């Protein structure tokens, strides 16, 4: 799942547009893009969207971002949307694996109540939105079989630590936010999960977005959050392995097979051993599941 596009949960028009954007995942937002007075309306709108799109065989996945546990709104959010059988829930302001385990239990109860298949609802956690959450990034392994991805956020984190900005004048993340990004990457890999890079908020700047995508894909992120439909094709392109990379990965796998599954082989004058084989296999697996689709 490469592109995860947010649309405000109370905006029917944007939800429809997001749905047709080519995003692998549409995130129906009940949290930060919906004002307090709009929360109830957003729940109704989100449910209608989920119900209208339920039967579409080739649809993107539909996740719902609930409000954070600390707001006291999360249970009512789940009550409202779980009847619509979302493909997943995005947990904001996650402090660590224990929060994911708690959400798992809340989801399980509602799946049972609404006759949904046990375990059918996935979870994606936003894992760096408060200073304390940084210290929970190593705790996601085994938190829930539903957990499908970790992602990070730099806006709430900036507020929490009192940072005036999170990017420098050249558009690069400042040091505290580079640390959060990198630890998200390590925490995800340690838990065996794909890492999804955070939003690029300057949505008119496609060149800057493309550069940030390239860097994220290079470093091991599997996808990126989006806030505008125009960002979706840029993200999808950056996180789809190139034909050259795929061809090379196939040759690496074939070289090991041809050598009778040897520990080490030579290819084009380069030594390749087990980490290279694993990386090639991972790339081929990622390409096979690059798109969204509800399956």
Residue 273 CA to residue 275 CA, distance in Å, equals 6
Give every CB contact of residue 228 below 8 A, 6+ residues apart in sequence. Answer: 5, 203
Subset of residues 224 to 263 that bind ligand COA, contact rule: CB under 6 A: 227-229
What distance in Å separates the CA atoms of residue 238 and residue 251, rounded to the nearest whole number? 22
CB of 31 to ligand COA, least distance (A): 7
**Minimum CB distance to Mg ion smaller for 225 or for 249:** 225
Query: Cα–Cα distance between 65 and 231 in angstroms, integer?
Result: 19
The partner in contact with residue 156, picked from ligand COA, Mg ion, none with C-beta cut-offs of 5 to 8 angstroms by kind, is: Mg ion
From residue 184, give the alpha-carbon distance in Å to each of 23, 101, 132, 209: 22, 18, 13, 19
Here's the x/- map for ligand COA, 3-42, by CB under 6 A: it reads as: --xxxx----xx--xx----------x--xx---------
Could you tell me the smallest distance in angstroms from the CB atom of residue 53 to Mg ion? 25
Closer to ligand COA at the Cβ: 26 or 255?
Answer: 26
7 binds, among ligand COA, Mg ion, none (CB under 5 to 8 A by kind): ligand COA
H or E segment at 8?
strand 3-8
- 156 sits near Mg ion (criterion: CB under 5 A): yes
CB 157 within 8 A of CB 131: yes
Q: Which is nearer to Mg ion, 90 or 235 (CB)?
A: 90
Q: Which one of the spans 60-68, 76-84, 150-158, 238-246 is the region binding Mg ion (CB under 5 A)? A: 150-158
Closest contact distance (angstroms) between CB of 156 and Mg ion is: 4
79 counts as binding Mg ion under rule CB under 5 A: no
How far lies 229's CA from each of 20, 47, 52, 78, 96, in Å? 9, 21, 20, 26, 30
Residues 183-202 contacting ligand COA, CB under 6 A: 199
Tokens of 113: 């109540």
Q: Which is nearer to ligand COA, 6 or 69 (CB)?
A: 6
Token code pair at residue 287: 């390409």
Tokens matching residue 181: 């990004």
Number of residues engaging Mg ion in binding (CB under 5 A):
2
**Closest by CA position to 211, among listed 177, 183, 237, 193:** 237
Is 32 among the residues that bind Mg ion (CB under 5 A)?
yes
Residues making contact with Mg ion (CB under 5 A): 32, 156
Binding-site ranges for ligand COA (CB under 6 A): 5-8, 13-14, 17-18, 29, 32-33, 199, 203, 227-229
């Amino acid at each position: 799942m490469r592109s995860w596009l947010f649309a405000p949960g109370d905006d029917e028009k944007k939800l429809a547009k997001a749905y047709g954007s080519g995003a692998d995942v549409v995130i129906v937002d009940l949290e930060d893009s919906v004002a307090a007075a709009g929360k109830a309306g957003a729940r109704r709108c989100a449910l209608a969207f989920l119900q209208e799109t339920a039967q579409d065989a080739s649809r993107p996945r539909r996740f719902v971002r609930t409000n954070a546990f600390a707001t006291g709104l999360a249970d009512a959010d789940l009550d409202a949307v779980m009847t619509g059988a979302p493909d997943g829930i995005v947990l904001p302001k996650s402090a660590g694996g224990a929060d994911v385990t708690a959400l798992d239990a809340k989801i399980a109860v509602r799946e049972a109540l609404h006759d949904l298949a046990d375990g059918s609802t996935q979870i994606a956690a936003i894992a760096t939105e408060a200073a304390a959450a940084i210290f929970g990034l190593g705790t996601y392994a085994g938190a829930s079989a539903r957990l499908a991805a970790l992602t990070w956020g730099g806006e709430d984190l900036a507020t929490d630590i009192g940072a005036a900005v999170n990017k420098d004048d050249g558009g690069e993340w400042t040091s505290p936010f580079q640390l959060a990004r990198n630890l998200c990457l390590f925490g995800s890999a340690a838990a065996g999960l794909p890492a999804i890079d955070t939003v690029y908020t300057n949505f008119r700047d496609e060149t800057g977005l493309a550069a940030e995508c390239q860097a994220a894909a290079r470093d091991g992120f599997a996808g990126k959050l989006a806030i505008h439909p125009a960002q979706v094709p840029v993200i999808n392109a950056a996180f789809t392995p190139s034909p050259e990379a795929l061809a090379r990965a196939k040759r690496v796998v074939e070289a090991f097979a041809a050598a009778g599954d040897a520990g080490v082989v030579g290819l084009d004058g380069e030594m390749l051993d087990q980490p290279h084989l694993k990386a090639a296999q991972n790339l081929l697996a990622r390409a096979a599941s690059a798109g969204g689709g509800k399956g």
